[in-house]
Structure 1
Amino acid sequence: MTTLLPALHGVQAALSAYGLYIAYHSITNLHKYEEKSEKAAKYSNTAAHQLHKTRTTQASGTVAILASLATSTYLIFSAHPTPTLLALNVANAAATLAARIHLQNFWKGKAKVPFVEGYNDAISQTGAIMQQLAVLTGVWALSAGLTLAGLVL
């Protein structure tokens, strides 16, 4: 059972790398509107709050995916299950789930704006990031279960 772990961690690394690719494009599209958003934030508390939440949600998703990539790459080369490796699996499952919830709580009600192509693309890409985080959460939970089984057996 634990012989599957390196391959599973390889899948996690690939999923994480793809998630970072999506996050990069989403952040790039949102960055196009950064200057206008900052100007609006000077005059409106609502705009300032929206800008802050946009930045923090994008950052939390990106950081969770980056941590997933770093951890999964490290775990590919780990020999045998240990309590520390189990803790890394559980921590990544929790981090990806928390980031997904954080993103969803802010972005689920965002409507696409006519004629604002880059912003609309960013909304779609953020949805893809949320899906990627959901998949990563499941794969981290699976690898945590296999690691636990390796410790018990």
Structure 2
Amino acid sequence: MLLKSIHITQIVIAAYGAMQSQVAISKLLEYEEATKKLAKISSEAERQLHKTRTTQASGAVTILISFAVSVLLVTGGASYPSLVRYLVSPFMALVVYAARVYIRDFWAGKNGKNVTDKKIPLPKMADYNEALERTEKSLRVLGWLTISWVASSAVALIQGY
């Protein structure tokens, strides 16, 4: 029952994360055309655009995979082979953690500052700044999901599936 509760919690956390990720991506898309024009004349702008796309996509995909795996474990966990049940949680913990590190390294930098430290205090940048806030929330969600997958790994190991 404890394991099922953890997976239900993961579903809720991932659903919240998906909403944050969706808003961040849609807000960043508003700046896509201007960034594409700049990318044509600046290799750094092109690199930044590519990293923005890949980090946002990796966060969204990781959150959705976490959601789907949690749903599958809640609805049919006992029907999966025992090796799959025992390995899926540690595997998901690694995947979610890796995605979080990848995103954080780009958005917050190697020094680990908050994403929102990059806010631009200029008119017409409110949507960009909101995208940064949502990206920060997505990073927190990935942190919570990592912890929950580690917890489900420990519970599965101790109490069994």
Report the TM range for the smaller structure's normalisation: over 0.9
2:117 paired with 1:119: no
- TM-score, length-scaled by structure 2: 0.88
Q: Aligned partners of 2:67 and 2:59: how far apart in 1?
A: 12
Residues 18-51 of structure 1, C-alpha deviations (whole Å, 9 max, x = no match): 1000000000000000111111111100000000
Give unpaired runs (5+ residues) of structure 2: 110-114
Counting matched residue pairs gives: 150
Within the candidate set 111, 134, 139, 2:143 is matched to 134
Q: Is the partner of 1:79 in helix, strand or coil?
A: helix
CA distance in 2, matches of 1:50, 1:57: 10
Amino acid at match of 1:135: W
| Offset of residue 98 of structure 1 | 0.6
Q: TM-score, normalised by structure 1?
A: 0.93
Residue matched to 2:16? 18
Distance 2:19 2:160 in 1: 34
CA deviation after TM superposition for structure 1 residue 131, in Å: 0.6
Aligned sequence identity (%): 37
3-state SS of the aligned residue for 1:5? Answer: helix
Runs of 4 or more, structure 1, over 3 Å off, are: none
- Give the 5 Å matches for 1:91-130: 91-109=91-109, 111-113=118-120, 114-115=122-123, 116-130=125-139
Q: Which amino acid aligns with 1:112?
A: K
Distance in 2 (alpha carbons) for counterparts of 1:105 and 1:62: 16
Tell me if the contact between 1:89 and 1:144 (Cα under 8 Å) persists in the aligned partners: yes
1:143 aligns with 2:145: no
SS at match of 2:78: coil
Residues of 2 paired with 1:8 and 1:103: CA distance?
A: 25
Structure 1 counterpart of 2:36 = 38
The answer (yes or no) to whether the contact 1:97–1:137 under 8 Å persists in 2 is yes
After superposition, the CA RMSD in angstroms is 1.6
Give 1:7's aligned residue: 5
